[in-house]
């Protein structure tokens, strides 16, 4: 029996929510370990659609949900989300939701700075959600973050707010944005403290007890490897590490607890926001993928850029992310296409390369080298076994496995949780 860690292998939006929800039926505890409310997971359960940003997807299955210390928490956004899903019938209490007491908070000043900086970048904007995630992580590493545990110590909170505002108001004033008073932030925190503190606990200790008791833990990543602050398309990345190794440090467990690493990948590629995207399609095929796949950001509502499957990027994600197997999603979106292309390499300044470069200029100049395969006319939508798949669809999946050097262990053929083909149960690895 093994724990499982789920990470995205592209630029996010790969369908992690459905896969985590599906795997949660085999887990006891589901843990979020990085990111903030810039992540978005959509879960379809019968006629109910749950849109989650901070809450672990396992809550939909009635499992214990955990928000680890690696997550930056916007308390207002969290409470709004709790109220919304409670209205849909979910039970969210301090018994079902544990939040690390050492998790940093996102305050209104963080969002203001995030938006002011993005506006100042002009044509060099990164495409952030403007929700304050980056500035909150900056405060964490600069040792001026307000953490949940600080809410229980008014004297500590008082001097920490002074230090935080000295930094942020200086930047806001320099950017021509409105500054904040200490009273404004105190009022904000006074309002949310009574609701937030009951959920806080020593998550690392409870997870260690769960491990010793043999309980199955599912670690749920946000964003994806190509948005990792070290390994992604920097600077067009998120503000945290997204690889599986962070499941340990972001929740307070040992590295050996990470278990089977399941990487999620769409059968094509999408991206929201700015940054390089070698296989992006600007033609009718790209629009078709977007329409069929309902490609709009769960959090932002922005249309996603669409393109062919990039095996080079996924192979990199497999290696740096420690991926044990791939869950391939949205295969049904490719139904009916005459031809399907896979990026198998790049051309850069007249030279063939087999890995994605790190320098932003080089990333923008690479041109994809494609291998083209026949499509299939039959439908894959709703398939729940290999026998239901068209022969050409199976060939496409097998070719992907060869190129990315990792097995496809799960195959998703629709948004419905049970329309899934399981080749290997990660929990039994």
What is the set of active-site residues?
Answer: 13, 41
Angstrom distance (rounded) from CA 403 to CA 317: 12
3-state helix, strand and coil shares in percent for the chain, rounded to the nearest 5: 40, 20, 40
Cα separation values, 299 from 25, 67, 103, 227, 275, Å: 25, 18, 21, 16, 18
* DSSP-derived 3-state class of residue 199: helix
Give me the count of residues in the chain: 429
135's CB contacts (< 8 A; 6+ apart) are: 109, 110, 113, 114, 168
b/e burial code for range 318-349 (CB count within 10 A of at least 16 → b): bebbbbbbbbbbbbbbbbebeebbbbbbbeee
Angstrom distance (rounded) from CA 296 to CA 36: 19
Token pair listed for 176 = 């021509």
| Partner residues linked to 35 by β-bridges | 71
What pairing do the DSSP bridges indicate for beta strands 29-32 and 64-67? parallel
CB 79 within 8 A of CB 125: no
Which phi and psi (to 5°) does residue 104 adopt? -75, 150
CB 207 within 8 A of CB 66: yes
CB 141 within 8 A of CB 182: no
What DSSP string runs through 129-191? -SSSHHHHHHHHHTT-PPBGGGGG-HHHHHHHHHHHHHHHHHHHHHTT-----HHHHHHHHHH
């Amino acid at each position: 029996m093994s724990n499982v860690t789920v990470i995205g292998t592209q630029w996010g939006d790969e369908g992690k929510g459905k896969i985590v929800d599906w795997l949660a039926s085999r887990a006891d505890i589901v843990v979020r370990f990085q990111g903030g409310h810039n992540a978005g997971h959509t879960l379809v359960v019968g006629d109910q659609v749950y849109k989650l940003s901070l809450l672990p997807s396992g809550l939909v299955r009635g499992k214990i949900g955990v928000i680890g210390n690696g997550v930056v928490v916007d308390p207002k956004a969290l409470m709004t989300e709790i109220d919304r899903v409670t209205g849909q019938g979910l039970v969210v209490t301090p018994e079902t939701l544990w939040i690390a007491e050492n998790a940093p908070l996102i305050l209104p000043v963080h969002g203001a700075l995030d938006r002011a900086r993005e506006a100042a970048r002009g044509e060099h904007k990164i495409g952030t959600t403007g929700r304050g995630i980056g500035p909150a992580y900056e405060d964490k590493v600069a040792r001026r973050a307000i953490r949940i545990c600080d809410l229980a110590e008014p004297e500590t909170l008082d001097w920490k707010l002074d230090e935080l505002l000295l930094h942020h108001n200086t930047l806001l004033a320099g950017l021509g944005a409105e500054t904040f008073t200490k009273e404004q932030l105190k009022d904000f925190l006074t309002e949310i403290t009574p609701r937030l503190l009951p959920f806080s606990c020593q998550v690392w200790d409870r997870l260690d007890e769960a491990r010793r008791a043999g309980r199955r833990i599912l670690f749920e990543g946000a964003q994806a490897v190509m948005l990792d602050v070290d390994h992604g398309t920097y600077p067009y990345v998120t503000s945290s590490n997204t690889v599986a190794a962070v499941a340990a440090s972001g929740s307070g467990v040992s590295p050996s607890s990470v278990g089977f690493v399941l990487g999620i990948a769409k059968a094509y590629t999408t991206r929201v926001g700015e940054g390089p995207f070698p296989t992006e399609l600007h033609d009718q095929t790209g629009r078709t993928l977007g329409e069929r796949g309902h490609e709009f950001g769960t959090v932002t509502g922005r249309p996603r850029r669409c393109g062919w499957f990039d095996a080079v990027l996924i192979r990199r994600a497999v290696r740096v992310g420690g991926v044990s197997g791939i869950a391939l999603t949205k295969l049904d979106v490719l139904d009916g296409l005459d031809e399907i292309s896979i990026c198998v390499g790049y051309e850069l300044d007249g030279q063939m390369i087999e890995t994605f470069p790190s320098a932003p200029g080089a990333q923008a100049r690479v041109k994809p080298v494609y291998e083209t395969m026949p499509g299939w006319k039959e439908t894959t939508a709703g398939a729940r076994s290999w026998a239901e798949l068209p022969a050409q669809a199976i060939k496409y999946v097998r070719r992907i496995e060869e190129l990315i050097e990792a097995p496809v262990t799960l195959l998703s053929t629709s948004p419905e949780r049970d329309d899934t083909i399981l080749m290997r149960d990660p929990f039994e690895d």
